[in-house]
């Protein structure tokens, strides 16, 4: 797609109207540049002049533990003089961010851009570099907020991304491959995309605007220069752009930011059910003339679902008019709604349609000091993660003390412990039981960090 010489009348008209609305410039009476024949040429340059000052480059530094393969062997440690203290290296990463509140210096970016970072540097469009401070982050939606202190900041207005349509023209601005601020263009290819691994809340805008590594956290804007999404991920078999990129809708990012600023975390509601996908065999057994939906397999006691009257065997087909194609859709819709939200459920029960009403409730989550579960976890603060689709999702490392036993082991804030000795640890009770079963002996923790699973050995 070539914006200076549009290939379609619709795009040409849209860009010409946008350019004509821009403030006049000395080039011509209309404010448009002129071609060789003296005719106005459509351009989005005036819009970008308002957008690009609000898009920043983010550089993070993180200390990563480097472990020798022989470190666990006492003979090799003694013979080769391998130190017992772990070695570290500094890992740097690049990303982008968007200033959304100039007065307070708030910048929205992706959680994976700053996750685990000990030092955040933000480079503004005018070349200034300032320090950034993490305000809060939500791993489930991959949204984070940092704060910078600088004068003369410009912020982008947030659009109502719920009004987007497939085919709307969009522009992506970010810092691909660390090259510096770069602009690419495309259209909205699809809406409501999900299925990306590692995220519990998924409602992506799909676009063919070129997005590459380093664009993460950058802006996706409409032709009015309003923020409609935060560029997050690409689908690629090769590591480069193939025209399938994903952005978090601005409406979702706005709500996550609101909760992070107000509470320091996102408070999501839950129905309190476990479900599975409806298939042809289940539909026949349940006497249901449908091929899509989430079949309720368990209703948790004293939950919103129980109070609403949901029963095992019910098939949830829609929430607030939004279709539920399966358990993933249900979990995603739950994650998009806040605590206390009143919702309407469309349900099929023994072939009969029902409408039930429920109010989402906050899951009951426990916290504990790591040393209370095992002395080798001293210095770690642990917290249960909210369940998804009624299933427990592990124990999060909420904080790690500097120089503590937990830090020496390699645990870091934001890690999620999901198992011990190859057995699932869905909550604190399960984790404590499995560690107790090890009796203080060797235990191997299964830990998830940045969507990757690795092992931590307790000796």
The residues assigned a catalytic role are 112, 142, 216
For residue 246, what are the β-bridge partners?
Answer: 206, 233
What is the C-alpha to C-alpha distance for residues 290 and 58, in angstroms, rounded to an integer? 48
CB within 8 Å of 75: residues ≥ 6 apart: none
What is the C-alpha to C-alpha distance for residues 285 and 244, in angstroms, rounded to an integer? 39
CA-closest candidate to residue 352, choices 311, 380, 305: 311
Residue-by-residue DSSP string for 81-149 = T--SSPEEEEEEEEEEEEEEETTTTEEEEEHHHHTT-SEEEEE-TTS-EEEEEEEEEETTTTEEEEEE-
Tokens, residue 435: 């560690």
What is the C-alpha to C-alpha distance for residues 307 and 303, in angstroms, rounded to an integer? 6
Instruction: Kindly state the helix (H) or strand (E) to which residue 259 belongs, with its residue range.
Output: helix 250-263
What is the C-alpha to C-alpha distance for residues 404 and 68, in angstroms, rounded to an integer? 20
Residue-by-residue DSSP string for 337-370 = SBTT-EEEEEEEETTEEEEEEEE-B-----EEEH
CB within 8 Å of 138: residues ≥ 6 apart: 111, 144, 256, 259, 260, 265, 266
Neighbours of 82 (CB within 10 A): 15
């Amino acid at each position: 797609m070539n914006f200076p010489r549009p290939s379609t009348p619709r795009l040409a008209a849209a860009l010409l109207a946008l350019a004509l609305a821009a403030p006049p410039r000395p080039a011509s009476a209309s404010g448009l540049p002129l071609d060789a024949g003296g005719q106005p040429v459509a351009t989005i340059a005036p819009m970008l002049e308002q957008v690009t000052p609000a898009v920043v480059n983010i550089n993070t530094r993180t200390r990563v533990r480097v472990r020798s393969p022989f470190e666990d062997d006492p003979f090799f440690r003694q013979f080769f003089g391998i130190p017992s203290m772990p070695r570290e290296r500094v890992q740097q990463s690049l990303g982008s961010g968007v200033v959304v509140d100039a007065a307070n210096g708030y910048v929205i970016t992706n959680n994976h851009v700053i996750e685990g970072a000990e030092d955040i540097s933000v480079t503004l469009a005018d070349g200034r570099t300032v320090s950034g401070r993490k305000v809060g982050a939500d791993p489930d939606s991959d949204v984070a907020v940092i704060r910078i202190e600088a004068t003369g900041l410009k912020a982008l207005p947030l659009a109502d991304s719920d009004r987007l349509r497939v085919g709307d023209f969009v522009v992506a601005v970010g810092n691909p491959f660390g090259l510096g601020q770069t602009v690419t263009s495309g259209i909205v290819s699809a809406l409501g995309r999900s299925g990306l691994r590692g995220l519990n809340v998924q409602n992506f805008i799909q676009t063919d605007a070129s997005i590459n590594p380093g664009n993460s956290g950058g802006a996706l804007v409409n032709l009015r220069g309003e923020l409609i999404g935060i560029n997050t991920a690409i689908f690629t078999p090769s590591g480069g752009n193939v025209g399938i990129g994903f952005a978090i809708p601005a409406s979702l990012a706005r709500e996550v930011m609101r909760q992070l600023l107000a509470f320091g975390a996102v408070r999501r509601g839950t129905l309190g059910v476990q479900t599975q996908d409806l298939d042809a065999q289940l539909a026949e057994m349940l006497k249901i003339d449908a091929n899509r939906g989430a079949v309720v397999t368990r209703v948790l006691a004293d939950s919103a679902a129980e109070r609403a009257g949901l029963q095992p065997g019910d098939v949830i087909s829609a929430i607030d008019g939004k279709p539920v194609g399966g358990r993933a859709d249900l979990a995603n819709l739950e994650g998009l709604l806040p605590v206390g939200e009143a919702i309407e459920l469309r349900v099929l029960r023994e072939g009969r349609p029902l409408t039930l009403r429920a109010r989402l409730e906050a899951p009951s989550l426990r916290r504990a000091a790591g040393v209370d579960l095992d002395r080798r976890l001293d210095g770690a603060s642990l917290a249960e993660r909210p369940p998804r689709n009624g299933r427990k999702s592990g124990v999060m490392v909420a904080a790690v003390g500097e120089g503590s036993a937990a830090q020496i082991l390699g645990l870091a804030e934001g890690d999620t412990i999901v198992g011990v000795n190859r057995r699932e640890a869905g909550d604190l009770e399960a984790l404590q039981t499995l560690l107790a079963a090890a009796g203080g002996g060797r235990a191997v923790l299964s830990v998830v960090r940045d969507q990757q699973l690795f092992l931590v050995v307790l000796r």
